[in-house]
Amino acid sequence: MALIIKVNDRDNVVIPVQDAPAGTEAVPGLKTIQDIPQGHKIALNDLKKGDEVIRYGVVLGRLARDVPAGGHIDEHMLVLPEMPDLENMPWGRAAGPDHGLPANLPSAFEGYEVPDSRFAGTRNILGIMTSVQCVAGVLNVAVQKIKTELLPKYPAVDDVTALNHSYGCGCAISAPDSVIPIRTLKNLMRNPNFGGEIMVVALGCEKLSLDMLLEPHENNPENVIVLQKQAGFKAMIDAVLSMAEKKLRKLNERRRVTLPLEKLCVGLQCGGSDAFSGITANPASGYASDLLVSAGATVLFSEVSEVRDGVQFLSGRCGSAEIAGKLLSEMKWYDSYLERGGADISANPSPGNKAGGLSNIMEKTMGSIAKSGSAPISGVLSAGERVSQRGLIFAATPAGDFVCGALQLASGITIQVFMTGRGTPYGLAAAPVIKVSSRTDLKNLWDDIIDVNAGTIADGTETIQQAGERIYRLIIDTASGRYAPFAEKYRLYNDICVFDPAPVT
Amino acid sequence: MALIIKVNDRDNVVIPVQDAPAGTEAVPGLKTIQDIPQGHKIALNDLKKGDEVIRYGVVLGRLARDVPAGGHIDEHMLVLPEMPDLENMPWGRAAGPDHGLPANLPSAFEGYEVPDSRFAGTRNILGIMTSVQCVAGVLNVAVQKIKTELLPKYPAVDDVTALNHSYGCGCAISAPDSVIPIRTLKNLMRNPNFGGEIMVVALGCEKLSLDMLLEPHENNPENVIVLQKQAGFKAMIDAVLSMAEKKLRKLNERRRVTLPLEKLCVGLQCGGSDAFSGITANPASGYASDLLVSAGATVLFSEVSEVRDGVQFLSGRCGSAEIAGKLLSEMKWYDSYLERGGADISANPSPGNKAGGLSNIMEKTMGSIAKSGSAPISGVLSAGERVSQRGLIFAATPAGDFVCGALQLASGITIQVFMTGRGTPYGLAAAPVIKVSSRTDLKNLWDDIIDVNAGTIADGTETIQQAGERIYRLIIDTASGRYAPFAEKYRLYNDICVFDPAPVT
């Protein structure tokens, strides 16, 4: 019997993991009646013209002609369902059932509590925010000294990181869209992994003034160093080291405690996707996401341009008309942002996608959405907005890995699961990143980069549920400090790439 | 006699360095007839209503009423000259005379020749380009190892730098404005300070494909490492170190040779400006610029939003209708870019500027333009475009220091002069940056950051010409490797902040 993938119980099509010649047994009692290429759809029943083709539990389209059981359904045979009007999206109809958390899975983790924070940290890091790129050179020199001279004296602190970025001046700070980078930076320094300690290095004449980043009670010499007030370079370095030591002393007092998963905020992201991402790594992570949500955790998924074409399926999982409304307004903002810049949003899926078996935009998008499992969506965040709800949250960010990563950190994730097919060594300094491969080949090639192989699903050695439980356990182990993902071990950290849709000046 | 500043021989106004009470002798034989605040304009002759007020050698406006010699000209007394139509700008009328290079000043430097390059390097650096942010984590780890394990073996090489940036994927690569970031990165790795060696670390699935960065003959395994083809993290590090060592071996053969200034390309930039920038540091650097141009060097100045309101004065210095036409088309592009993003381009000068004596946008802008001296403009570059002309060039970039810095490097500068009033510790890894202060107070406070104090001009201890000659000599010394500016000594390096006016996706 051939290896096949069925993503959802409702699906009336399956996908062969390898090319399936005519006569291959696809499921017990069903043989293919023609050659089916790898990753293409096989009808499970006799289907008639006009019947719905269901994959990922959703209608991909209606058949343009009859297809018998064991037959091939390609992109020419599918008529797209009419795209619902963005104004009249259904909501609250499509969320999957909550199966609850199996008794054999952990329902707590060991984290760092943070004063006045609904989420706990998974790491104990000194994060030094910058109000403008101008200070990056000085701060980098200072952080190097902190790492060699101070950090070893405070063994309970995991790391120190400079939150350098390209924002802060030379920007249209009063333009409407500037709310996004300002909010991002303000929230980023409040990530629970920084333990509630505020430390900002400013220049003194930047457009991003301290009152935009800090509350009045935070804006004082205990938390802020203004370089223009320092007597030269050596004084700057001394000032940064002196403040850093005070913060390190406080952070060094922190200890992990056993916490319910209500205190955990997990980010999901995919990058360098391939034809297997949507059938292995993403649904397995989606299953882990459902388990996390069942256990009370908060899970963020993102990437507007990856879900835009299937937004009706997300809308259907929104828990209220208000949540669906926010989802749609984020999509509209993004549509207009892309249009304004002359970005081409057509030509999707690409010819390469179609050759790989992705018949239409719905099918491609569902592969991306698969990472969110089937839980109801309990909130939608604008880019860089801080999460205030529990459960599964759509954080509306661009799909670029490094931009999405910075925005999810600002929203409050303290750990991220990153699914990849082609492979990327992506990582974040501010939170551990678990990398999940879609194919066993990638895990074999990148054995010391990929933390979890979900290619087992395509290999037929694991089910989506089994791989999902494995990812779930690794999330808990990583959050608890018992496992260091490869990116953390080797310190493979991407820059903080701020999303600034406003003009540079 | 009070300290006064006269910027240009044609000026019929002067500026007191401190508040000048009525009766202060401003110039020999002329006393102020009323209290003149610091930095405000004093009439040198009896001026009538309708007369031109000339500062920086240009007409700031016409008088709204008579002002006697020694009187105060404030913002209410000046009628702006009619803003010329962008379509019908004069050209070729306003460039200053070329006084030639005084015999006591050096007319050659010690630089590194680069094959097939019209400009020579001032440093000998291994620059490792990245095609996408995704690879930054791996490259940073590798560069750290190169610095400790390899660089000491190649003493003729000054440094190794990772050209990390936020571009390469998650970007609207087919949008019209994407030409700017692509061109910037392609040209950046060809900066003469990298000695013509090409080394690129790519991921493998990024939108910025290698054929966009490299010529066909460059795109080969001698110059390019694709991480997705490497067998894991350790293999990636080995591959980067192995290629780096081959490049270091070649760079290590290079020696400085005596070269004419035709081989030198200097960038000028100001940031953190104050009321003195336009009367000390900028005109002194402008004088140095005139000397450089006289000696055959190429000088780039930039910052569209800082010159936009006085573009007619730049247009007047353009050497041909074609150059003036390109200048104006860059201004138009920028106007529409800012408008599209809802940026506010009015409210200039600010109330603070006016209180400081800057009567109108012309006067403010002329302070910025002062850094370009009075030479004719022999070329205009779009953002990130490579310089192909000689002489004084306007490189149309945003005014933000770190964005302008990256773009000037892409255009080909091998050394930069940076004027600052409020103070910034700005620096570039790819080229030495000489920092010039506008005030002696700043030099006193930041003695170990500021390389040249032009506050001497306001103090009355030096003329603009004397300070300009000092800056000129330091440029030659720095370019020749005889002087390391403080930013280079302490390695205060800003990130490569790429200007991407197209949408993020």
Chain B interface includes A232 (CB < 8 A): yes
Tell me the nearest-neighbour CA distance from B176 into chain A, angstroms.
7
Q: Could B504 and A398 be called an inter-chain contact, meaning their C-beta atoms sit closer than 8 Å?
A: yes
Report how many Cβ contacts below 8 Å link chain A to chain B: 224
Q: Which CATH architecture has domain B111-251?
A: 3-Layer(aba) Sandwich (3.40)
Q: A361: which residues sit within 8 A by CB, 6+ positions away?
A: A80, A309, A310, A348, A349
Residue A355 scores a pLDDT above 90 = no
DSSP sequence for A200-239: EEE-SS-SS-HHHHS-TTT-STTTEEEGGGSSSHHHHHHH
CATH of A4-82, one of 2.30.130.110, 3.40.50.1100, 2.40.50.140, 3.40.630.10: 2.30.130.110
Between β-strands B200-202 and B125-130, what pairing exists: parallel, antiparallel or unpaired? parallel
Cβ-Cβ contacts under 8 Å, A137 against chain B? 425-427, 487, 490-494
Of B175, B422, B424, which is closest to A342 when you measure between CB atoms?
Answer: B175
Instruction: Please indicate whether, in this complex, the C-beta atoms of B422 and A205 are within 8 angstroms of each other.
Output: yes
Task: Tell me whether residues A494 and B402 touch, CB distance under 8 A.
Answer: no
Give the bridge partners for B63, in sequence order. B78
What pLDDT shows up at residue B96? Answer: 79
Indicate whether A4 pLDDT > 80. yes
The band of A353, judged by pLDDT with boundaries at 50, 70 and 90, is confident
A-chain residue closest to B502, CA distance = A341
Per DSSP, the residues of B59-101 read EEEEESS-B-TT-EE-GGGEEPPPPPPGGG---SS-PPP----
Residue A270 predicted with pLDDT over 80 = yes
User: A494, B341: Cβ pair inside 8 Å?
Assistant: no
| Ordered DSSP codes for A378-426 | EEEE-TTPPP-S-EEEEE---S-HHHHHHHHHHHT-SEEEEEESS----
Place of tokens 């993004």: A334
- The pairing of strands A4-5 and A13-16 is antiparallel
The whole-number pLDDT of residue B502 equals 95
Whether B231 has its CB under 8 Å from any CB of chain A: the answer is: yes
CA quadruple B488, B455, B407, B193: dihedral sign: negative
Q: Which two tokens stand for residue B398?
A: 């945003």
Test mutation, B139, B167, B179, B233, chain A, max A CBs within 10 A: B233
pLDDT of residue B346: 58
How distant is the Cα of B437 from the closest Cα of chain A, in angstroms?
A: 13
Residues A23 and A32: beta-carbon distance below 8 Å = yes
Which positions in chain A touch B203 (Cβ < 8 Å)?
A: 272, 424
B407 at A interface, C-beta within 8 A:
no
Contacts of B424 in chain A (CB under 8 A): 134, 203, 205
Q: What is the pTM of this model?
A: 0.94
Task: Output the pLDDT for position A345.
Answer: 63
Q: Angle at Cα A160 formed by Cα A159 and Cα A163, nearest 5°?
A: 135
Residue A446: closest CA among chain B residues belongs to which residue?
B232
Using CA atoms, how far apart are residues A396 and A404, in angstroms rounded to an integer? 9
A184–chain B nearest CA distance, Å = 16
Is the Cβ–Cβ distance between A209 and A167 less than 8 Å?
Answer: no
B238 Cβ neighbours under 8 A, 6+ residues apart: none
Which pLDDT does position A89 carry in this prediction? 77
Check A494 against B425: CB less than 8 A apart. no
Q: Which two tokens stand for residue A150?
A: 């101070």
Question: Nearest C-alpha of chain B: how many angstroms from A442?
Answer: 9
A431 SS3 class:
coil
Q: How confident is the model at residue A457 (pLDDT cuts 50, 70, 90)?
A: very high
Cis peptide, bond prior to residue A349, ω within 30 of zero: yes
Contact B344 A174 (CB under 8 A): yes
Q: Inter-chain contact A344–B487, Cβ cutoff 8 Å?
A: no
Question: Whole-angstrom Cα distance, residue A111 to residue A254?
Answer: 10
Are B317 and B376 in contact by the 8 Å Cβ rule? The answer is: yes
- pLDDT on residue A157: 98
**A350 touches B at CB < 8 Å:** no
Nearest CA in chain B to A339: B503
Kindly list the domain boundaries of chain A, sorted by start residue.
4-82, 125-251, 266-489
Contact B344/A at CB under 8 A: yes
| Equal CATH topology for A4-82 and A125-251 | no
More confident residue, A359 or A290: A290
Q: Which of residues 131-160 of A touch B (CB under 8 A)?
A: 133-138, 140-141
Does residue A347 surpass a pLDDT of 60? no
Mutate to test the interface with A, among B165, B206, B401, B504 (most CBs of A within 10 A): B504
Q: Is A121 left (phi over 0), alpha (psi -120 to 50) or beta?
A: beta
Strands B4-5, B13-16: pairing is antiparallel
A373 touches chain B (CB under 8 A): no
A406 interface with B at CB cutoff 8 Å: no
| H runs (alpha helix) in B341-449 | 351-355, 361-369, 401-411, 440-445
B137: nearest CB among A341, A400, A427:
A427
Residues of chain A numbered 425-484 and touching chain B (CB < 8 Å): 425-427, 445-449
Q: How does residue A403 score in pLDDT terms, banded at 50, 70 and 90? A: very high
- Looking at residue B352, its pLDDT comes to 67
Please name the residues between 187 and 226 in chain B that touch chain A, using a CB distance below 8 Å. Answer: 203-205
The helix/strand/coil state of B53 is strand
**Which chain B positions have a beta carbon within 8 Å of A161's beta carbon?**
none
pLDDT of residue A348: 65
Tell me, which fold does domain A125-251 have in CATH?
Rossmann fold (3.40.50)
Is the CB of B347 inside 8 Å of chain A's CB atoms? no
- Smallest Cα–Cα separation from B340: which of B332, B350, B330? B332
Q: Which of B227, B340, B449 is closest, CB to CB, to A340?
A: B340
Which residue of B135, B231, B341 is in closest CB contact with A177? B341
Query: Hey, which residues 64-93 in chain A have their CB within 8 Å of chain B?
Result: none
The per-residue pLDDT for B164 is: 98
Judged by CB atoms closer than 8 Å, whether chains meet at B425 and A134 is answered as yes
CB hemisphere CA count around A19 (13 angstroms): 5
Mean pLDDT, chain A, integer: 94
State yes or no: pLDDT of A15 exceeds 80: yes
CB contact under 8 Å between A177 and B422, yes or no, is no
Burial class from Cβ neighbours inside 10 Å (0-12, 13-18, 19+) for residue B125 reads: buried
Whether the CB of B172 is below 8 Å from some CB of chain A: the reply is yes
Instruction: Give every residue of chain B whose pLDDT is below 50, as ranges.
Output: none
Q: Which of A227, A341, A400 sits opposite B169 (nearest CB)?
A: A400
Facing B497 at nearest CB: one of A133, A175, A398: A133
Q: What is the mean pLDDT of residues A224-251?
A: 98
Eight-state DSSP code of residue A155: T
B172: chain A residues, CB-CB within 8 Å: 338, 341-344
**Residue B5: per-residue pLDDT:** 85
Q: Are B25 and B45 in contact (CB under 8 A)?
A: no
Residues A57-74 as b/e (b if ≥16 CB within 10 A, e otherwise) read bbbbbbbeeebebbbbbe
Report the pLDDT averaged over residues A148-166.
98
CB nearest A164 (choices: B135, B271, B495): B495
- Give me the pLDDT at residue B347, please: 55
Contact between chains at B425 and A497 (C-beta distance less than 8 A): no
Chain-chain contact of B272 with A203 (C-beta, under 8 angstroms): yes
Q: Which of B138, B166, B348, B435 to mutate to test the interface with A (most CBs of A within 10 A)?
A: B166
Closest CA to A59 of A98, A12, A21: A12
CA distance B303 to chain A (A): 9
